[in-house]
Amino acid sequence: MTLRRRFSLLGIAALLLAFGAHAQSKFPGEGGVNLDVPYVPTAQGVVNRMLEMAGAGPNDIHYDLGSGDGRIVVTAARDFKVKKGVGVDIDPVRIKEANANAKSAGVTDRVTFLQTDLFKFDFSEASVLTLYLLPDVNLKLRPTILNAMKPGTRVVSHAFTMGDWRPDKQEVVESEALYHWVVPAKVSGGWEWKIGSDNYRVDLSQQYQVVTGTLQGPGGQSQLLNTMLKGEDFRFDASVPRGAAPVVMHFVGKASGNTLTGAIDFAGAQRSQITATRAK
């Protein structure tokens, strides 16, 4: 499939009304290739806010899917000082234009533009991903984003969501909707650890960054409260028997592969460092 490219919200709305949300109509590109969506550049103020929402900075590798004239990649390198930027577009005219813009901005040492099909391209090294694509393309990319990209990767989409993966935050900038997600770690399943001679287990269910579950401990089972998963950062509370009355157990830590590491305390006291392993 060829690459969908940026265009105004009014143009998007008209096309969706004309062809439906899953339209597959092609549009002629200037470089003699057929595009899924005609190219219209993103306003610079929207570009700036997309990168601000993503928290782009000197430690980041930034990829822009459907990079057009390269303005998002160039802005990320020039103004946000990302250490590496990569733009992907199917149109050779846009690639040539993007390279010229990178040269003018003096960032050719840190940016690359590739003429390729985004569905055949590995963008998993990105720590910041920006895109302006149609809903069906977002949905086709979603499994790759969730399964191949590192937990903690920040994703910002101009105009369209990711289906039932709700954004962590959203804004309207210059009448344009922007959506921001953080790729969550995979925490579903059972996790076990000990504090002293006491055995504990949490069983977690996960839908994207929304986590629910139960805690099994010496005093029985309780529901998890106040769960929060953002990238690898994970926390939860649970009311547990402790002495004469229940107290709140707090966990704050990180999820990495098959290990949860962090600190647990009981009502702010008796703090313990724990390492929980995923139950087999």
CB distance 177 to 184 below 8 Å: no
- For residues 47 and 42, give the distance between their C-alpha atoms in angstroms, rounded to a whole number: 7
Domain 9-182, CATH among 3.40.50.150, 1.10.10.60, 2.40.50.140, 3.40.50.300: 3.40.50.150
Span 189-278 CATH architecture: Beta Barrel (2.40)
Question: Which part of the chain is CATH 3.40.50.150?
Answer: 9-182
- CATH 2.40.128.20 range(s) for the chain read 189-278
DSSP one-letter string for 173-223: ETTEEEEEEEPPP---EEEEEEETTEEEEEEEEEETTEEEEEEEETTEEEE
Cα–Cα separations (whole angstroms), residue 272 to 196, 266, 280: 9, 9, 24
What per-residue confidence (pLDDT) applies to 280? 84
Token look-up 């139960």 returns 214
Stated pTM of the model: 0.88
10-residue stretch averages of pLDDT, the chain, 280 residues long: 42 42 52 62 96 98 96 98 96 95 98 93 97 91 97 97 97 98 98 96 98 95 97 97 88 97 94 95
At residue 35, the pLDDT reads 62
pLDDT of residue 34: 58
